Amino acid sequence: MRENPLVLHVLGARPNFVKAAPVVRALGELGVRQGIIHTGQHYDALMSDVFFADLGLPEPMANLGVGSGTHAKQTAALLVGLEEVFQEHEPDLVVVYGDVNSTLAAILVCAKLGIRSAHVEAGLRSFDRGMPEEVNRIVTDSLSDLLFTTSPEALSFLAREGVSPDKVHFVGNPMIDSLFSALPGLDPAPIVERLAIPTRYAVATLHRPANVDTPEAARELVDAVLDVSRQIPVVVPIHPRGRTRLAEAGLVDGPAVKVVDPLGYVDFLSLVRGASLVVTDSGGVQEETTMLGVPCLTVRPNTERPVTITHGTNRLVTPALLPAAAEKALADGASTPSGELPPLWDGAAGPRIARVIAAWLKGDNLAPASQGTRAE
C-alpha cells in the first residue's frame, strides 16, 4: 500500500450520493485522501447536481456523463469511461454504493484491473433476478473485497452465497446518517407553499421497469394512483425514467394530481416528512419513510429491504390493491410493528465505514463479522 493511499467513490444516481456523503465526510475527518467519480448515470441536474449541493459533497474529480440508454449501452459506456479514470488515478480502493449500473461497471473494472473494492449496502436481496438491480447486487458482492451491510439479514444472505465473513462488516445505514443530518432543516411548509398544494397530501415516486416499461403496466399503475387521488391529493415528482410512458397512461397534472419535476434532497424529504402517505417503488424511500414515521406503500411484489416492513411503516401492495391499502393507511396513520428503528440506524454508519476503510488501508487486521459490528 502506498504511503498516502487514494480512495475513489463511484457515484451514478441520486441514492448513491445520499449514501456516500456521510462516508466521504467521515473519511475526510480521518485524513484519508479521496475523490469522487460521477458517472452521470443520472444526467439531469435535478437528479444529481442539486444533490451534491444539498449534501455538501465535494466537486467530482471526473464526470463521465454517460446519460441514459439500454442496460447494455449504458454499462458499456461506463466500463470504458471508468477504466480510463482508474488507470489515470490508480486508486488503492474504489468504493461503490447500492445497485445501479455504475456500481456494477465499477466493480467489473476493478476486478479486471486488480484494484481493491468496497461495496456499501451489501447483501440486500429481493430474490427476484428479473430485477436488473438484483443481478447488480449479486455480482458486486461476489467481487468486492470489503462489504458493508445495512441490516442483520444481509449477513446471512452473504454467508449463504459463500462470501467470506472476513470481508463483511455490519455498520448500519449511511442513508439514515444523511437523513439525521438534514432532519432539523426539513420543513414541509415552504415546499407545500411553492407547489401550491393542500397541507394534507400524498407523495408518489414511480420508476421501476416492471411498473413503467410497458403500456399495460403503466396504465394499471396510473389508474391505481388516480384512484388514490380521489381520497387525497397526490404529488408526483416525476423521474425522467418512465415520464413519457406514465404521461401516455394518463398521469398528467390536474386538480387532484400534481406532477412536478424531480426535487432536490432537502425539498423532497421535506415534502415526504409532511405527507400523510407515500406510494413508491424506490428502495431508498422505503427507508426514509421508516425513519420519518410516514406510512409507505411499496408497489412491488418484493423488497430487498424487509427491515422496513418488520421495523418500519412500509407495506407491499399490488396496483390493484393500492387504493384499498391507501384508504387503510390513511385511516390508521403511521405505526411501526416493533416500536423502534432498525439496528444501527443511529446516524453513525458513515464513521463506522470510515474507520474500517482507514484500518484496512493501514493493513490492520479486523475481527470477523460474526463477532459483531466490526467497525466498533
What is the set of domains in the chain, with CATH numbers?
6-172+344-371 (3.40.50.2000), 184-332 (3.40.50.2000)
Any idea which of 42-51, 162-171, 205-214 has the lowest mean pLDDT? 42-51
Cell match 391499502: residue? Answer: 325
| pLDDT one-digit tens code per residue, 35-46 | 999 998 655 555
| pLDDT one-digit tens code per residue, 292-310 | 999 999 999 999 999 999 9
| pLDDT one-digit tens code per residue, 70-129 | 889 999 999 999 999 999 999 999 999 999 999 999 999 999 999 999 999 999 999 999
The alpha helices in 90-214, defined as continuous H runs, are: 101-113, 132-143, 152-160, 174-182, 188-195, 209-212
Compute how many other C-beta atoms are within 10 angstroms of the C-beta atom of residue 369. Answer: 23
> How confident is the model at residue 364, as a pLDDT?
65
Residue type, 132: P
DSSP letter for 144, please. -
pLDDT at 56 over 60: yes
Q: Could you tell me how far CA 19 lies from the centroid of its own chain? A: 7
Q: Beta partners for 234?
A: 202, 257
Identify which of 241-250, 311-320, 360-369 has the greatest average pLDDT: 311-320
Active-site residue numbers? 207
Helix (H, G, I), strand (E, B) or coil at 156: helix
